[in-house]
Amino acid sequence: MKKFKKILQLLMITVLVLGVITGCSNDASSTASTSESTNSEAGTSETTSEEKGSLAEIKERGKIRIGVFSDKHPFGYVDENGENQGFDVYIARRFAKDLLGDESKVEFVLVDAASRVAFLESNKVDIIMANFTVTEERKEKVDFANPYMKVSLGIVSPESAPITSIEQLKGKKAIVAKGTTAETFLTKNYPEIEQLKFEQYTEIFEALKDGRGDAIVNDNTEVIAWAKQNPGFVVGVSSLGGQDTIAPAVKKGNKELLDWINQELELLGQENFIHEAYDATLTEIYGEDYKEELVIEGGKLE
């Protein structure tokens, strides 16, 4: 994360410099070629950047471009036949169906966590649905629609000595991964709980198996999925601490599309569509029990 921030800073500076350079050269060339550019614009009916991503432009194009993950099973991944699948993808397909009349009228752009904002800002996608957690920092750069999923922290512990509330952890050892929300949450709210910290996700699970700590505190999606694959461990607490939501995002200022998504989520809520998406894509990993912990229907958080 730190490295990425540094890269981003460097990027901003270079973009600034580049912007100044190209901005200057643009001025010079645009005065020289005004007649040409007006000609070509009229001829090819090129859309300007303001119109890009508007509902009318998407309909004219006949395809909506949605940015999804390609390697985050089960939210957005590519299956063995090269097809996009997953929870986010399932909902995205429905968006395409309701907006353009056909499920296949969606172009999936495969994005990485680090480049999600950039894809939106540069008009390379219309919507990002790549398990995008709503944060204050991101709200300054993109516009989030209403959420369709929520995540919080969870605690997983051995079945033989289950931890069913955070209070029980006092005086015991909690295993956390460094730099995660879990670490911040515990340090801030429960400084009396001793933390055993590891760099990698795989290490924390190994540590619990070895009995080096009493329980793991981590994102609830991670601990639920892990407990399901590892018999002998239970998720005693499945939602703890502040709740984060996951929502579709559009380019800053694209209110038209944002309103459409919100309205669409509300309509989908009437037929419990997000639950259907959960059944189709997440049950296998998380089981039936956690549906209500994860799903947000109709875009409204109760």
Partner 1 sequence: MQNLGINVFLKGRNMIRLFEGLMVTARIALIAIIIGSLLGIVLGVVWTSKSKWIRSVCRIYLEMFRIIPILVWLFIMYFGVTTVLNIDLSGEFVSIIVFTLWGAAEMGDIVRGALESLPKHQIESGKAIGLSFWGLYRYILIPQAVRRMLPGAINLATRMVKTTSLVVLIGVIDVIKVGQQIIETSRIEVPTASFWVYGFLFILYFVICYPLSVLSRRLENKWNG
Q: One-letter amino acid identity for 124? A: K
Residues of this chain, 203-242, that bind partner 1 according to CB under 8 A: 229
CB of 151 to partner 1, least distance (A): 18
CB of 154 to partner 1, least distance (A): 19
Which of 5-13, 91-99, 169-177, 178-186 is the region at the interface with partner 1 (rule: CB under 8 A)? 5-13
CB of 19 to partner 1, least distance (A): 6
SS3 of 155-172: EEEECCCCCCCHHHHCCC
Taking the mean position of all CA atoms in its chain, how far away is CA 52?
23
The only residue of 87, 119, 132, 148 in contact with partner 1, by rule CB under 8 A: 119
CB of 48 to partner 1, least distance (A): 7
| CA 298 vs CA 31, 268, 274, 281: distances in Å | 51, 6, 8, 18
Residues of this chain, 88-117, that bind partner 1 according to CB under 8 A: 109-112, 114-115
Q: DSSP label at 103?
A: T
Residues of this chain, 54-93, that bind partner 1 according to CB under 8 A: 70-73, 77-82
CB of 46 to partner 1, least distance (A): 8
Q: How far apart are CA 195 and CA 52, in angstroms?
A: 49
The only residue of 24, 26, 27, 209 in contact with partner 1, by rule CB under 8 A: 26
CA dihedral 14, 15, 21, 24 (to 10 degrees): -160
| CA 76 vs CA 71, 110, 166, 186: distances in Å | 6, 9, 31, 30
Given the rule CB under 8 A, which residues bind partner 1?
Answer: 7, 10-11, 14-15, 18-19, 22-23, 26, 46, 48-49, 70-73, 77-82, 109-112, 114-115, 118-119, 121-124, 229, 285
